[in-house]
Amino acid sequence: MRVISGTAKGRPLKAVPGTGTRPTTDKVKEAIFSMIGPYFDGGQVLDLFAGTGGLSIEALSRGMDRAVLTDVDKKSVETIRHNLQVTGFTEQAEIYRNDAARAIRALSKRQVRFDMVFLDPPYRLKVLQDLMLQLDEADMLTNTAIVVLEHDAEDVYSQPIGRLRWTRRAEYGDTAVTIYKYE
């Protein structure tokens, strides 16, 4: 794993030890950013199942200003800290060890709003629709926000979810990426 483009291009990213985390492959990451970017002119990103932090780090490398990364796993949080340090983005990031629903509640109290959200939970968890509704109801998305879902290709998300409208879906083996935009 590595940073594909931007200011930290080519920097290697450490994987989370063990088999509990499924990092986004470079191929899928490159496809995601070709769909939503490829580069950004500032903004805040939220990564609710951050794992290695690879998606948020890629977004920071491509021009996002700040990132909030959450993961419930202690090893993931340690890996995120390491990867932020080696890419030079420590000062632009906040890391929390928390589950996604609780993180949304805590961040909504701070009235934080995001331009981009990554939702890449373990495939066995079927929580994407609920989390998207939570983000919408908590008014945590800017008017131009993009929400990126990475999920099992067997799961289909295509209907509007709250004020989020489906824009695109692509499959890469057993992985699918679905993009929503805020309206």
**Residue 148: inside a domain:** yes
Indicate whether 24 pLDDT > 70. Answer: yes
Is the Cβ–Cβ distance between 56 and 66 less than 8 Å?
no
**Residue 11: inside a domain:** no
**Residue 100: inside a domain:** yes
**Residue 18: inside a domain:** no
**What pLDDT does 122 receive?**
87
**Residue 154: inside a domain:** yes
* Number of domains the chain contains: 1
Q: Which range marks the domain in which residue 92 is found? A: 26-172
> What CATH number corresponds to the domain at position 161?
3.40.50.150
pLDDT tens digits, one per residue of 35-63:
999 999 999 999 999 999 999 999 999 99
**Average pLDDT of the segment spanning 73-86:** 97
Is the Cβ–Cβ distance between 151 and 170 less than 8 Å?
no
**Residue 104: inside a domain:** yes
pLDDT tens digits, one per residue of 97-138:
999 999 999 999 999 999 999 999 988 888 999 999 999 999
